[in-house]
Amino acid sequence: MWRPCGTFDDTYEKDVTIMRTAAQWAVTIAGLVLLGLLPFLLGGGLITTLNLIGVSVVSIMGLHILTGLTGQISLGHGAFMGVGAYAMMMLMNLTGFSFWLAMPLAVLTSGLVGLFFGLPSLRIKGFYLAMATLAAQFIIPWTIINVRPDLTGGTSTLTVDAPNLFGFAFSSQQRIFYLVMAFAVISVILARNLQRSKVGRAFVAIRDNDLAAEIMGVEIFRYKLLAFFICSLYSGLGGCLLAVWMGAVNVDSFLLHESIWYLGMIIVGGLGSVPGAVFGVVFIRFLEIVSQSIGPPIAGFFPDAIGAAVKSGISPFIFGLVILLFLAYEPRGLAHRWEIFKHFYRRWPFSH
C-alpha cells in the first residue's frame, strides 16, 4: 500500500482511517459536487448512460464481495437483480406500496433467495458451485415467466411508477440521476468498509486459503452464506434501481448474458478491488455503447444476408475480445493501472 508522501501514522486509529489528508477530503468533496452538477452540464443521452453506470455500480458491489473477495463465482448475478426488480414491481403494483417501502422488502427478498442458492457452497466449490449458480440463473427467469404470469407479466413489460420523495418525483433521467448516484456512493462506501473489516478479511481468507482460514477459526460456511446474502442484497438493490431507470421491468434484463457482462466487469476492473469494480463498470458500459454504434457501419461492409448477424454479434464479439485481452495482458485489471498511477502522482515530482 502506498500513501501520500509525508503521511505517517502515529496511532492505529489514524491507520484505520481511509481519508487521511485534507487534500483527500478536498478532492472527494469536489468530486461529489461535480457529480451533483453533471445533470446540468451534460445532455440527456449521456445522463441516461451515467444512470445505467450508477445502477451497475450498486449491483457490482455485490459481485465484488461474493466473487472478488470471497472467491465464489456467480453466474446468476443477473437473475438475483431480477428477484429485486420483480419483487419491488409486484409490491408496488399489486399492494400499492411506495418505492420506499417496496424497495427494502424487495432487497431483503433478493438476499434470502441468494442465501438459498448459496446453500450448495456447503458441499461444493469452484467450477461446480458456478454451475449451481447457473441453475439459479435459469430457474429464476423461468419462474418469473411461467409460474404466475398474471402477477409478473410473463415475458411482457410491466411499468413501474417513479419513486417520489416528499413530492419530488424521480420521473426524468435528470432526476433519477440523484437517486441512483446517492445509492451508488453509499454502496461503494459500505462495500469498501466491509472489505477492510473483520468480515472482509474472513472473506479473503476463505478465497485465498479456506483450509487455513478454518484452522484459524473462521466459520467457513457461515461466511460463505453471508457473502451470498450480502451479494444478493446489492444485486437486489441494483435490480430495483434498474426498474426505476427503465420505468418498467422485463425479464430480458435479467438473463444469462447480463450475469456474464457483470463477471466481465470485475475481470476488467481487477478482482478484489472496489475502485477496480467501478472502473470495470464504466469501461464495459462505454464499450457497450461504442460497439453498438460501430455495429451498423461495420455491418454495411457485409452482404445483407449476414449483415444483420454481424450487427447483432458485434457487441458480444468485442466484449469477448476485451475480456480475453485483459486476461492475457492485465489479469490484475484496471485497478492495477490505477495503483501505478496513484503511486506515480503521489511521489511526483520525485521519481524513485
Cβ 299 to another protein shortest distance, Å: 43
Dist. CA 273–CA 94, nearest whole Å: 39
211 is a site residue for another protein (CB under 8 A): yes
213 is a site residue for another protein (CB under 8 A): yes
Cell triple for 155: 415475458
Kindly indicate which of the ranges 108-116, 213-221, 262-270, 321-329 contains the residues binding another protein, using the contact rule CB under 8 A.
213-221
Cβ 272 to another protein shortest distance, Å: 6
Contact 269, 67 (CB under 8 A): no
201 is a site residue for another protein (CB under 8 A): yes
Dist. CA 11–CA 152, nearest whole Å: 55
Dist. CA 175–CA 36, nearest whole Å: 11
Kindly indicate which of the ranges 7-15, 48-56, 116-124, 168-176 contains the residues binding another protein, using the contact rule CB under 8 A.
7-15
Interface pattern 15-44 for another protein (x via CB under 8 A): xx----------------------------
Neighbours of 38 (CB within 10 A): 15
Q: In the block, which residue shows the cell 424521480?
A: 170
60 is a site residue for another protein (CB under 8 A): no
288 is a site residue for another protein (CB under 8 A): no
207 is a site residue for another protein (CB under 8 A): yes
Of 116 and 221, the one with the shorter C-beta distance to another protein is: 221
Dist. CA 139–CA 117, nearest whole Å: 11
Cell triple for 280: 470495470
Of 9 and 252, the one with the shorter C-beta distance to another protein is: 9
Which residue of 46, 204, 298, 310 would you call a contact of another protein, by CB under 8 A? Answer: 204
Sign of CA dihedral 233, 235, 236, 237: positive
Q: With CA atoms as reference, report the closest residue to 227 among 54, 68, 336.
A: 68
Kindly indicate which of the ranges 20-28, 40-48, 207-215, 308-316 contains the residues binding another protein, using the contact rule CB under 8 A.
207-215
- Considering only residues 253 to 272 of the shown chain, the ones binding another protein according to CB under 8 A are 272
Q: Please, which contacts does 42-47 make with residues 24 or more away whose CB atoms are closer than 8 Å? A: 44/173, 44/174, 47/173, 47/174, 47/177
200 is a site residue for another protein (CB under 8 A): yes
Cβ 324 to another protein shortest distance, Å: 23
Cβ 76 to another protein shortest distance, Å: 21
125 is a site residue for another protein (CB under 8 A): no
DSSP 160: -
Instruction: Report which residue type is found at 266.
Output: I
CA distances from 135 to 110, 146, 188, 281, 284 (A): 16, 16, 29, 25, 25
Cell triple for 207: 478465497
Of 226 and 265, the one with the shorter C-beta distance to another protein is: 226
Kindly indicate which of the ranges 153-161, 171-179, 194-202, 237-245 contains the residues binding another protein, using the contact rule CB under 8 A.
194-202
Of 175 and 332, the one with the shorter C-beta distance to another protein is: 332
Stretch (H or E) spanning 215: helix 210-215
199 is a site residue for another protein (CB under 8 A): yes
24, burial (CB in 10 Å: exposed 0-12, middle 13-18, buried 19+) = middle
352 is a site residue for another protein (CB under 8 A): no
198 is a site residue for another protein (CB under 8 A): yes
Q: In the complex, which residues of this chain contact another protein (CB under 8 A)?
A: 1, 11-13, 15-16, 190-191, 193-194, 196-202, 204-205, 207-209, 211-220, 226, 230, 272
